[in-house]
Amino acid sequence: MSSARLPGTPRLLRALNDRAALELLLTRGPLTRAQLGELTGLSKVTASQLVERLEERGLVARVGEQAGGRGPNAQMYAVVPSTAYVVGVEAGPAHVVAGVADITGNIVGRTDVSIGDGDDPVKVVHAAVVEAAGAAGAPIDRIRRIVLGTPGLVDPKSGEITFAWDLPRWHRGLLTALRDDLDRPVMFENDVNLAAIAEQHSGAAIGAQDFVLVWLDRGVGTAVVLGGRLHRGSVGAAGEIGYLPVAGTQVSRDASRRSKSGFRALVDAVAVRQIAKTHGFKATGAADAVRAAIAAGTAGSPFLDELARRISLGVASVGLVLDPELVVLAGEIGQAGGADLAQRVQHEVAAIAVVSPRVVPTEVASEPVLNGAILTGLDAVREEVFGSTA
């Protein structure tokens, strides 16, 4: 090792130890200096110096005492929640939902802003972020990242929205406009990709390295995770299975227009309501129809079988290309179908293809896109804040 690198070595080790301690405090809760030393393998003296550094930086604080043994009670330490905040935003055609989380991951503020015809998206997002921050008591200057989940394509290189037919006023140039307006780091991500991140963190895909999330709702899409990481494709179109040409459906020659064609014509909310009506289930919404069919027992089986056969066409196509270990059915329809629909899809895929991935329903109970946006922001912000302890 050259002498030029020696002076930096203790600093690097301190930074690594500090990061490890902060992660332990996040995952294990309040800890004493002795417990941090034991868990990190550091001596008592080194662990004490570590805690003092983090206290001086305002990253950790004393939150109580632990009684036991001889001598004075041991001080307990925890990460200071207000060190930094992130904002997750879910954008839809009718409203924008924003949630604020502190650096520990607790959601401390939330708001829902309606979108009217012709509303400027910059003003709508600005209002949502400011209202959510106000509800959280979070100073704007402590918001370190804003992540917006949006339908359509997000260019992996530029980060810009390139195509979102559900949000016609959301376009190229919007990312820069939002960054200038909010004076905060802002990023876009596809909404289904964010739902997959939530599933990977706290849902049915925990521990899965290769999986596909199939979103069945007003729109249809998939998120692809390979080797534990999202696969977006060269232009952000990986997973846009709604446009998959399927025999028996219309094939549009202009994908940028809102045409009823491809795989989505078989399984989106409109199609599911039509199938349900044919089988005698006249619920207002597609998810309600699926739930009604499941509640009907054997009387609902013909409807569910037909729906599963349609879904399996898309799942089998993706499966034959990627051969994932797991497929998660999400969105309102996938969630409503639960294990009953998932098992039917798994059986159909195994019958028509040489792959047989395990098919399961989502286990993220609510707002997967918003939760995925917050998780994405937290990953980036913790890296910035905790990584700068040197």
How confident is the prediction along the chain (390 residues), in pLDDT tens digits per residue?
444 444 457 788 888 889 999 999 999 989 999 999 999 999 989 999 999 999 999 999 999 888 766 667 889 999 999 999 999 999 998 999 999 999 999 999 999 999 887 789 999 999 999 999 999 999 999 999 999 999 989 999 999 998 887 787 888 899 999 999 999 999 999 999 999 999 999 999 999 999 999 999 999 999 999 999 999 999 999 999 998 998 777 776 666 555 667 899 999 999 999 999 999 999 999 999 999 999 999 999 999 999 999 999 999 999 999 999 999 999 999 999 999 999 999 999 999 999 999 999 999 999 999 999 999 999 999 999 987 654
Candidates 308, 287, 378, 389; CA nearest to 350 is 308
How many other CB atoms are found less than 10 A from the CB of residue 36?
A: 26
- Residue 245 phi, psi dihedral angles, 5° rounding: -65, 125
Q: Collapse the DSSP code of 226 into the 3-class scheme (helix H, G, I; strand E, B; otherwise coil) and give the result.
A: strand
User: Which stretches within 137-218 are classed as H helix?
Assistant: 174-182, 191-202
Tell how strand 211-216 and strand 220-226 pair up.
antiparallel
- Residue 41 phi, psi dihedral angles, 5° rounding: 80, 15
pTM: 0.92
pLDDT tens per residue, range 279-310: 999 999 999 999 999 999 999 999 999 999 99
- Residue 252 phi, psi dihedral angles, 5° rounding: -80, 145
| Torsion, Cα of 255, 188, 155, 216 (10° steps) | -40
* Cα→Cα distances 354→208, 223, 264, 318, Å: 21, 21, 23, 12
Number of H helices, E strands in the chain: 12, 15
Angle CA 229–163–219, to nearest 5? 75
Interatomic CA distance for residues 125 and 115, integer angstroms:
10
Residue reference for tokens 């820069």? 176
Judge whether 37 and 52 are in contact, CB under 8 Å: no
Give the pair of three-digit tokens for residue 62: 């004393």
User: Which stretches within 185-267 are classed as H helix?
Assistant: 191-202, 264-267
Q: Collapse the DSSP code of 340 into the 3-class scheme (helix H, G, I; strand E, B; otherwise coil) and give the result.
A: helix
CA quadruple 339, 344, 345, 351: dihedral sign: positive
pLDDT tens per residue, range 29-78: 899 999 999 999 999 899 999 999 999 999 999 998 887 666 678 899 99
Residue reference for tokens 């001889």? 70
